[in-house]
Every structure is written in C-alpha cells, then in structure tokens.
Structure 1
Amino acid sequence: MEIMTVTLTQEAPQSLWGKADVTYQGNQAFIHLSGTDELRQVQAAARKIRSQGVSKVQLDGALWSIDSQWAFSQGFTTAKGEFEVLWCGDSEIQTTLTHRFEAASFARMLVNETPEELSPVILANHAAKWLKAIGGDNVSYDIVEGQELLEAQWIGLHAVGRGSERPPAMLVLDFNPLGDDAEVSTALVGKGITFDSGGYSIKPSEGMLDMKCDMGGAATVTAALGLAMKAGLNKRVKLFLCCAENLISGHAYKLGDILTYKNGVTVEVVNTDAEGRLVLADGLQAASDTGAELIIDAATLTGAAVMAVGTNYNAIFSPQMETLQLAQQQAASVAENVWPLPLDAWHKDMCPSPYADTANSRAMKGGGAGGASNAAGFLWRFVRPDVNWLHMDLAGAYASSANSLWSAGATAHGVLTIAAILNK
C-alpha cells in the first residue's frame, strides 16, 4: 500500500484551481493553514484527502501538534475500508495518539455494529473483555441479566428490555489498582440501548434507521475508561452499562405503566421512546451506592440536545458549577467540545404525573420545551444528593450521514473528555 505524506504549511497555495487548501505534489499532500479554526480546517482537509481514495498517510513536519494530528485522524477515519495514519513527533506523543486511536476505534466498532450482531448481553461482554484485556487482574466484573435484574430491583432496565427475546443486562465492572479497601473515586454509567424502535411510541422508519447508535453512551464510557487505564490510571473506578433492546411484543412495557424504582420513586410511562432515562435511573442508583466522589453518565439521550448544541458539541449538565467547569477544562485540554445547558432543582418536576411521582417525559413531541434539561432533571432524582454528578448528552457522538468533518457513523466524540476527567 503506497503511503502519502501529509504536511502542514502556512504558505499560501500555489494552485491553478482557485482557493484550494489542499495541494498535491506527487505522493505528498500539503494542507495550507489559514490561521483561523485550524483544527477544524485540518479535519476537513483529511476528509478531502480520504475521499481521493488515499488509505495510508504519514504525517510529517514541524507544524503538527498532538491536537492537529488527532483532528486529522478524525476526519480520515471511515466506517469501512482499511486505512492507517502514521503519527509524527516524539515517542510520548505517538504513544498517546496510538492509545487514543485504539480506544476510539473500539467505541466506533461497537456503535457501528449491526443491532442483530450486538445484543445487550454481547455488548456487556465485549466491553468487559476489552477492559479486562487492558487491566488484567485489576479488573473484575459481573453481568446481571434477564430476571436477575428484577431480583436486584433494577426495574427500569428490566421493563425496557423485556419486550425483546434477547434479555437486558447490566454490566457491573470494577477497576481497582489500589486494593480491596480502596474507595471508589469515580463511577461511570452508560446507556446501552442496542436498538431503539421506540417501543409502542414507535419511531418512523427514517428515525429508526440509525438507532444502532443508541448504545453510544455505553461505548463512550467504556472506551474512556480503557483509554484512562492505558494512560496509567491509578484510581478505583466502577463502570455500569445499562444494556437493552427497546422492541415491541406482547411482553413489552406500555404507556400508562407505573414503575417503582429501588429508591421508592414511582414513574408513569407516558412515552416508551423515552427509555434511555429509565435504564439510566438504575445505573445512577447503582453508581450512587458505590460511594463514589464523582458520577459521570453518558447517553445519546435527547434530540433536544442536538437541537440546542448541534452535532459538533456534547451537552453537559450538573447541579455543581465546579463539575461543569471541570468538564469544560478537560474537554478543552483534549480539543473536544462541550457546552452546559440549564439544570435547576425545578427541572425535576417538569414531567408531572397525576398517578406517580413523575412521568418519564411530557406527552408531546420531543418531550416539549427544554426537553434535554427535563430529562436531566428526571435523572437527578436517582443520584445521591451529596455526590458530584456530570450528565453528558452525546449530541456529537454519531453522524447519520457524511459531512465535511465526519464520515457516516460513530465519531467517538466524548471519549477523550471523560478519560481526561478520570486522569485528572
């Protein structure tokens, strides 16, 4: 396979074809930096180079930073076809980029997999085995599935997943390099809906097509933990993946059902397509039980977050300003984009029910105004009051179609942010 060398330059392009920001000389490509939003420019240039049929590149030259190399790899990555990016810089930079690429590739592999191949139990097993391969004896885990979920009082996960012939499952994983008595530093929770039909609140066909991506939260927190471990994480972290298929059958949960959670909160189901928050409620309770100082959950949770921040940001929520600031600082340190949306105590009450403590949404399209914040308010009911909590609504984790920055499919946007927080 022939290798194309790619170099950054600040020289203006000498092109007969107008304002080209990528020019070629034989097997060498030059990206002509404009001086504004250079990372975005580099990522878009990588898309152009890949679209020319180039599948292997060597980055070369003094202008490449770790952030620009990563931006290039993001644009160069596609869901199919073999490709390779060879890094430049010292051994530490190359090792960091290699670890990032391995973690992001694992997340993309999971998200891009077909829903037929990736059942809830298979997702839990893939995540556990990958982390076990990285962490060795420091990693232990258990997978609770099917009727066992009811015995453990994980009511939401069982309800959402019972409509499928393939059982729902919760992965409970412990990374502990410090010994049995170590306190849990952080607990991670991921939404792992391997396919979302919407249930009886069924999605239209075009809205259902990409719903293999609805386990993006589980993929993101798993890849982030793996990346942090590769970077030498020396804290105890617990991981909870809430995995289910949201399908229609005679066993499926229905509108009007009332779920009574382990913490006593009752929830009326007014929209079976607002299932992510129902499974995360179990995961957040399990995370709270660990005594962790910080809980981070990640989920492809609401279309409202996409409408609010677009697809190049992930929306973040927290009751604590310092937790939002931590997330923003660590995202900036790895050149990822997050943006805080409102979360006040009254958001807990924005999905009222005459029959239960709360409904799981509002009975209107998209959950009504402020849908992303209302969903976060719902989740807040299941978080221990004294804990620092970060909720990440992954608006930027998946591209439904190719654009100037991303090929179609998983982006892994968010993995670096959470890994950076873990290693803080």
Structure 2
Amino acid sequence: MTQFMKVILTTEVPAAHWGKADVTYADNQALIHLQGQDDLRQIQKAARKIRNQGINQAQLDGELWTIDNQWAFSQGFATAKPGYHIQWCGDAAMTKTLQDRFDSAYFARQLVNETPENLAPSELANQAAHWLSSIAEDEISFRIVEGERLLEEEWIGIHAVGRGSERPPALLELDYNPFDDNAPVDIALVGKGITFDSGGYSIKSSEGMLGMKADMGGAATVTAALGLAIKSGLKKRVKLFLCCAENLISGRAYKLGDILTYKNGVSVEVVNTDAEGRLVLADGLQAASDTGAALIIDAATLTGAAYMAVGSHYNAIFSPNSELLTRATHAAESVAEHVWPLPLERWHQDACPSPYADTANSRPMKGGGAGGASNAAGFLWRFVSPQADWLHFDLAAAFEDSASAMWAAGATTKGVLTIAAMLEHQE
C-alpha cells in the first residue's frame, strides 16, 4: 500500500527545538508554518524541501489549502523524473480543477524535459496532436505539413531553419471545433517548437546549448493550455499552429547573409542563425492570421533579453493593444502566475534594418543589442494581420537550467495557466 506523507498548513510557530525551520515533521506528517508574508512562495519552497527529503507521495490536508496554495505546492514538488504523486484536498470541483491542471502541466513538462534525440520535429507535432485528440477526439482535426511540402505551401521560415537537420521540419495545423464547420475561429495559438537549438552557424557555447532541448517550450505551453481549457469545458473554436524544427549545422543549413522572402512578401536578411525562433513564428503567425481569428496568441522561449529584463519568475508579454495587456495581466493574477509587459511600439518593426532586405532577423551584435526582446516582438508584428488582436509571450520563466530553492531543474510550465485562462475568458 502506498504511504503518503500528510502535509498540513499552519499559522502556528514551530516548537522551540526546531529553531527557525518553516517545515517540521511529526507522526508521518509535515507541517508548513506560514509566516504571513508571501505564502505561495513559501509553500513552493517548502514543497522543494519536503521533496528533497526523498518524499515522493504527499497528501494535502487541512482547511488552509486554497487552490492557489495547492498549485504552488505541486510546482515545488514536481521534478523532471516521474514517480511522484499528490493527493489534493477540497471539494470535487476544486480537486478536478487541480487534477486537470496537473495532467496538462505534466504533459508539457514531459515534452520539454524529453531528450532532443527522442523528440524530432514531427514527433513533437504528432504528440501534441494525439494528446489533444485524446481529450476531445470528435472535436479535433489536424494535418502536419512536413519537409519539402513546407516549401510547396510557402512556409519559408520553418523550412529554412529546419533544413540543416536530417530530420525534417514540420508545421502542425490543428483545429478544435466544438461547433459546425462554418463556425468562425475565435482564437489562434502559435507555438515555437525548436526541438533543439545549436544556434546554427551562429553556434552557441556548450554551456549555452545544454538546455536547448527546452526551446520548444512555447509549443508545449500553448498545447497544454489548449488541452486544459478543453478539459475545463471550452466552447470556442481554436486553431493551433506549432512551428517545429531542429536548428542544426550541415551542408544544407541556412547561412548568415541568406534572404528569406515570406508568403506575405516581407524579405528578411539572416544576420544571426541563432535568432531562428522569430523566423519560424513568422510562418505560424501568418497561418494564424489566415484563419480570421479575432485573437492571436503566440508563445516562445524567444530571447535572452526577456530573461535579463524580468528574470525567471515572470514571463514577458507584448502587444500593441494596451487593453489586451491588461487582460493578460489579470488572467495571470487569477491563476497566481506572473507576467510583465515590455515596450512595443510601431518603430520596433524597423529596429533591425538591412541594406539587402525589408528587415534583418536581428542586429549583428551580441544578443541582438539593446532592447532585443522588443525588437524581436517588433519583427513578429510584421506577420500579424492588422484585423486581429495579438499577444506575444516571451517565456523567460519556462525552464530552469538547474535546481533552485523553488524549482527542480527542467520545465516549470509557467504560462500554461495564464494562456488557458485567456482562452476561457476571451469574449
């Protein structure tokens, strides 16, 4: 019989012999002594301490376990290795919500933490499509455009970035439609799915490359968010586009100085092959725009500049629509996640000039120069329909290279709940 450690929240101070400890143990139970400052942060840290004691089974018990408290505990308790379990507390509605969150986040976490050898671009597309189909089979249809067929359909960016790999790039086009075939598309989601990023000929250092299996975190995030929203009863038509490729070096790889001319006529000079995410997202945003969706949301582990700006506890968000930024901020707050708006002005579209093309994909300097995250967002804006509202997530908080006081090493899944909330509450 599985033995669960009972975990209880309390506002009582620990006994004197525990000193300043915020987690104490007695009779097969752990007590987290809340200090009344930042409870969610303290609970997540306490969960890491409990997990680091070798405890794999936790049963949450007591009256202080709100939905946000329980979710914070689960985020600290989770690791890249399977074999851990949490028993939730509360009424049936709360436990269902928590289990739906957990299952969706677990799917994203396993995808992001998977070895790049096991997650080829087409495999990422297939796993995403089949997982969503398992949730709502009768309401899901999809197709995968792969390899040279991408060129035939003028998906120039995905093909260029992925052609250096022996394993072909792919675009997943998925339709969640709980209505009839003539229903309008309410929302389109776009995810960056770079299953491994060497940097291409702008090659990364060994240390900088080690965590690049996580460069498909955007694809995992939007897929898990859609799955969670469907589990929660979503009644909107949503199309999902995952832009999947390996950015590798070979005789077939794209090169600095190449010029890509996209389906919408925008020409792009490649000045940095490590600024590949925006090149594949350009295709996905055009495909999303073609659906006529009123709202387009993309998510990507796009720039180091966003990480430098907001750190690893926030995701950066961008939109030309200030009201949409406010809605995204409120959505994040409603699920106890953190986002922060960074600047995006019309002139950011021209922040990466080229003497040979309409724009370059970056600036020819380390990290793309000052304002790199905003410049990347400005580049993406060129490929979004002016008729659609558009929200861009630069996922600074999606992955931890090493364990910390709050997180195990690997995927965090931060952003999944925010985007799911945006899907559920968009009008």
* TM-score normalized by the length of structure 2: 0.99
Equivalent position SS for 1:187: strand
Q: Measure, in 2, the Cα distance between the counterparts of 1:386 and 1:370.
A: 26
**Cα pair distance change 1:138/1:3, threshold 3 Å:** same
Query: Hey, what does 1:421 align to over in structure 2?
Result: 422
Query: Hey, what does 1:215 align to over in structure 2?
Result: 216
Q: Is residue 40 of structure 2 the alignment partner of residue 39 of structure 1?
A: yes
Query: Hey, what does 2:254 align to over in structure 1?
Result: 253
Alpha-carbon displacement from aligned partner over 1:164-188 (angstroms, at most 9, x marks no partner): 0000000000000011111100000
Query: Hey, what does 1:386 align to over in structure 2?
Result: 387
Q: Is the CA contact 1:21–1:33 (under 8 Å) kept in the aligned structure 2?
A: yes
Q: Measure, in 2, the Cα distance between the counterparts of 1:345 and 1:272.
A: 25
Alpha-carbon displacement from aligned partner over 1:241-280 (angstroms, at most 9, x marks no partner): 0000000000000000000000000000000000000000
Q: Measure, in 1, the Cα distance between the counterparts of 2:64 and 2:312.
A: 28
Q: Which amino acid aligns with 1:42?
A: I
Equivalent position SS for 2:81: coil
Query: Hey, what does 1:244 align to over in structure 2?
Result: 245
Query: Hey, what does 2:298 align to over in structure 1?
Result: 297
Q: Is residue 131 of structure 2 the alignment partner of residue 119 of structure 1?
A: no
Q: Which amino acid aligns with 1:389?
A: W
Q: Measure, in 2, the Cα distance between the counterparts of 1:244 and 1:226.
A: 22
Q: Is the CA contact 1:46–1:72 (under 8 Å) kept in the aligned structure 2?
A: yes
Displacement, 1:15? 3.8
Query: Hey, what does 2:148 align to over in structure 1?
Result: 147
Q: Is the CA contact 2:257–2:269 (under 8 Å) kept in the aligned structure 1?
A: yes
Q: Report matched runs for 1:347-362 at 5 Å.
A: 347-362=348-363
Q: Measure, in 2, the Cα distance between the counterparts of 1:75 and 1:224.
A: 20
Q: Is residue 407 of structure 2 the alignment partner of residue 406 of structure 1?
A: yes
Equivalent position SS for 2:118: coil
Aligned-residue CA RMSD in angstroms? 0.6
Q: Measure, in 2, the Cα distance between the counterparts of 1:392 and 1:43.
A: 24
**Cα pair distance change 1:106/1:81, threshold 3 Å:** closer
Equivalent position SS for 1:389: strand
Q: Which amino acid aligns with 2:244?
A: C
Alpha-carbon displacement from aligned partner over 1:283-309 (angstroms, at most 9, x marks no partner): 000000000000000000000000000
Q: Measure, in 2, the Cα distance between the counterparts of 1:208 and 1:31.
A: 38
Displacement, 1:16? 1.5
Q: Measure, in 2, the Cα distance between the counterparts of 1:386 and 1:226.
A: 26
Alpha-carbon displacement from aligned partner over 1:378-420 (angstroms, at most 9, x marks no partner): 0000000121000000000000000010000001000000000
Query: Hey, what does 2:104 align to over in structure 1?
Result: 103
Query: Hey, what does 1:368 align to over in structure 2?
Result: 369
Alpha-carbon displacement from aligned partner over 1:315-336 (angstroms, at most 9, x marks no partner): 0000000110110011100000
Q: Report matched runs for 1:8-407 at 5 Å.
A: 8-407=9-408
Q: Is the CA contact 2:18–2:24 (under 8 Å) kept in the aligned structure 1?
A: no
Alignment length (residue pairs): 424
Q: Is the CA contact 1:15–1:23 (under 8 Å) kept in the aligned structure 2?
A: no
Q: Which amino acid aligns with 2:145?
A: V
Q: Measure, in 1, the Cα distance between the counterparts of 2:313 and 2:136.
A: 31
Q: Measure, in 2, the Cα distance between the counterparts of 1:336 and 1:218.
A: 19
Displacement, 1:81? 4.3
Q: Is the CA contact 2:172–2:241 (under 8 Å) kept in the aligned structure 1?
A: yes
Q: Is the CA contact 1:188–1:239 (under 8 Å) kept in the aligned structure 2?
A: yes
Q: Which amino acid aligns with 1:18?
A: G
Q: Which amino acid aligns with 2:91?
A: D
Q: Measure, in 2, the Cα distance between the counterparts of 1:11 and 1:141.
A: 54
Displacement, 1:3? 1.0
Q: Measure, in 1, the Cα distance between the counterparts of 2:361 and 2:125.
A: 25
Q: Which amino acid aligns with 2:352?
A: C
Runs of 4+ with deviation above 4 angstroms: none
Unaligned runs of 5+ in 1: none
Alpha-carbon displacement from aligned partner over 1:193-218 (angstroms, at most 9, x marks no partner): 00000000000000000000000000
Q: Which amino acid aligns with 1:380?
A: W
Unaligned runs of 5+ in 2: none
Equivalent position SS for 2:272: coil
Q: Measure, in 1, the Cα distance between the counterparts of 2:46 and 2:56.
A: 14
Displacement, 1:345? 0.2
Q: Percent identity?
A: 72
